[in-house]
Amino acid sequence: MNTLYPLKFTPIFKDKIWGGRKVKTLFGQDFAPLRNCGESWVLSAYGDEISVVSNGFLAGNDLSELVEVFMGDLVGEKVYQQSGEVFPLLIKLVDANDWLSIQVHPDDAMAQRLGHPNGKTEMWYVVDADANSELISGFNREITKEEYLRCLENKTLKSILNFEKVRAGDVFNMPAGRVHAMGPGILIAEIQQTSDLTYRIYDFDRVDEKGMTRELHTDLALQAIDFRHYDSYRTEYDPAFNKTVNLVTAQYFSTSLIHFGTPVVKDYSGIDSFVVLFCVAGACDVEYEGGSEELKGGEVVLVPAAMEQVKLIPGGETKLLEIYVP
């Protein structure tokens, strides 16, 4: 009888006006015929962009079909009760060769008020960053809506935004409502709710090849923005070798970092959820009862909820993001 096993997927590549080439230069992913790859959707069941299995007897089936057929055995009974046949997470690589637009995402309440199933909370793990790369997260002081609108009108918005220098390994939690943007030279792994609701605030007066500017969403963004100032926007953690270190535990996902160079056994019997292993450096084999799957940089495997244990065999120093629904 055929049973569930760790599933691999074909990435979905996205050409973006600000996109780069790091998924090819760092991970060898071929996004031809696109001119660049701003985003590689490594695991998705959003809209028509549904990941397709690339390994084993389920190859050719898409993620939504698998959730419909295997239900709690694939995603976990609790997750299935909460999310039904909608896979709850969207996982990407995002490569910025230029500034992304300054933007914000709505929370669940606002999204549902506007007829969407849910909002968009996300987190970023910096996979690679050029020297002096920066991103924007939140405001640099307390401001009012009136001051924000004045800065937007005068094109001085950057004067009230919080800029952060970044390097590989940095983590930023991005709850719904937080104004943010990635700067050039940064490759991130993004874990988020299954949503693509984005309200563009400012796009640096950029035009496309046809001389057209991209749409801004000033009124919707104003409703979504959290104007509060926070003491820190960076998620601090203590790196450790050959250990699993928690990075972010939010309502929608828990993400940990496994940085290892010797074999490790992972017991998932106490987690009523699927587990996604996202390789952000190095490579490893994922061994399970019945076989083994190779996991290379830039790839994910989905460990079904019904599978209680896997063994990770690194091919040298390796870093995985371990993601599940708490």
Task: Return phi, psi of residue 265, to 5°.
Answer: -100, 130
The whole-angstrom separation of Cα 198 and Cα 162 is: 19
Contact between 222 and 145 (Cβ < 8 Å):
yes
Considering just the CA atoms, what is the radius of gyration of the chain in Å?
20
The whole-angstrom separation of Cα 45 and Cα 67 is: 10
The whole-angstrom separation of Cα 7 and Cα 277 is: 10
Residue 312 token pair: 């990770």
The whole-angstrom separation of Cα 252 and Cα 260 is: 26
The whole-angstrom separation of Cα 111 and Cα 119 is: 5
Task: Return phi, psi of residue 147, to 5°.
Answer: -65, -40
Residue 1 token pair: 């009888």
Catalytic (active site) residue 113: no
User: Which helix or strand (DSSP H or E) is residue 108 part of?
Assistant: helix 108-113
From 113, 141, 200, 228, the catalytic residue:
200
Q: Among all residues, which ones are annotated catalytic?
A: 200
